[in-house]
Structure 1
């Protein structure tokens, strides 16, 4: 994906902020705990916080959280759902916080949108020495046969890079850290995965997939055809055709320490 496409996809979520807040899953608590485990203190920046899916888990775990989000509609939803959280407009490339002001920077399903050549030094700037940078991604477990079939039917706009365990591991191994300059400010990355099954119905799973960036930027006719194809697949599978089911998911974490 070139820079123009990345910017288009990254800016697509505001139009679906309410649906995003309703249908997107949060993050496995064990994954968030692991991300924070080596942090030197409790102050956490949720960067690219969206509607607050990760923010809420951080608050529940007792972190002192500030959230930063560039999209006004997403920020409005975050402030509505978590009014006690300090939530600021800003981006990974221009973080509105002082130097060495947080002990950890976490990003939920967001780090792949960052321009790390610019964001890397900014994140290093706001982190304390030995502070933690961690990206979290929710991925569908396509080791389960019907989930693998869903991925094939859905196409890359709905279930794309980073959305299954194998592709997530390959895509995030070091791709989201700059290779020069700020790279020297971070140690080698570590990855881990944590179970995070989600209760869904066919309708709610279709609604969730409809909030993916690739779907949001699709021409309407093509988008509806893709969603109809997914509905047909789910209605024809015994695992998903009759009421609620558990969608096998994992929360994957990429964690690095600031030097």
Structure 2
């Protein structure tokens, strides 16, 4: 993908911020248990920076764990939705490649579903700069669990219509950190049951649909509705996820 195409997809969420906020899945408590274990400290009282915060889905959950969170978000539409959802949370406009934050000002820097939109050659040094000695960078992605047959089949349909589609974890995210960077990893499985409309809105909030054009997106989602109604005639879909978590630390 070219840099301009990457930038277009990264900012495409601004056109669907309300849909994104309403339909995208959150994260299970077990994920934050794993974050605390790999980070080596409770989130309660931690000074956290949530980069690529979007509408605040992860920011909200970090606050509920007791973290003191500052959010960083580049998109105007996403930032506007964030401010309506979390008016009391500090939010600064910026990108992970050039964080508008002071040196050694955070205990934890998090990227929920967003590190793949950065240039790791820039964003990793920036995160380490902002972290205090011994602080941790935590990256995670909700991945549609392809071990579930209907999800695997949906992934094949996505690949057929959108050749560069990534069903959950974006392509290349497994190489988010350079090979020589020490890290700890964990995978957390979870599910949620949602109405079919919510599942389709979640699917349609992904960047590959947002940049494909309304006609192409609608055609796929209409076909997907018919297919899933055959599998889930009651209109209730159980989405299955594996959250891939990766943590690295700034040396103490």
Normalization by structure 1: what TM-score?
0.88
- In the alignment, which residue of structure 2 is the partner of 1:163? 168
In 2: Cα distance, 1:177 partner to 1:248 partner: 26
1:39 Cα deviation (Å)? 4.8
Deviates more, 1:78-87 or 1:40-49: 40-49
Match of 1:210 in 2: 204
What is the match of residue 124 of structure 2? 120
For residues 178 and 4 of structure 1, do their structure 2 counterparts lie closer, same or farther at Cα, with a shift above 3 Å needed? farther
After superposition, residues 1-259 of structure 1 pair within 5 angstroms as 1-37=1-37, 38-39=39-40, 42-155=46-159, 157=162, 160-161=165-166, 163=168, 171-173=172-174, 175-178=175-178, 187-237=181-231, 240-259=232-251
* Contact kept? 1:162, 1:172, Cα under 8 Å: no
69-78 or 32-41, larger mean C-alpha shift: 32-41
Partner Cα distance (2:182, 2:120) in 1 = 16
Structure 1: 5+ residue stretches without partners: none
Q: Distance in 2 between matches of 1:113 and 1:225?
A: 27
Distance 2:236 2:133 in 1: 46
C-alpha distance in 1 between matches for 2:162 and 2:115: 18
- Provide, for residues 160-186 of structure 1, a one-character-per-residue CA deviation record: whole Å limited to 9, x for no partner: 33626xxx7x8434x22256xxx6xxx
- Between 137-146 and 56-65, the greater mean CA deviation after superposition: 137-146
TM-score (norm 2): 0.90
Q: Over aligned residues, Cα RMSD in angstroms?
A: 2.1
State the shift of 1:32 in Å: 2.3
Instruction: Tell me if the contact between 2:54 and 2:78 (Cα under 8 Å) persists in the aligned partners.
Output: yes
The count of corresponding residues between Structure 1 and Structure 2 is 246
Which secondary structure does the structure 2 equivalent of 1:50 belong to? coil
Distance 1:159 1:236 in 2: 27
CA separation of 1:157 and 1:51: change in aligned 2, threshold 3 A: farther
Segments of 4+ moved more than 6 angstroms: none
Per-residue deviation at 1:57? 0.5
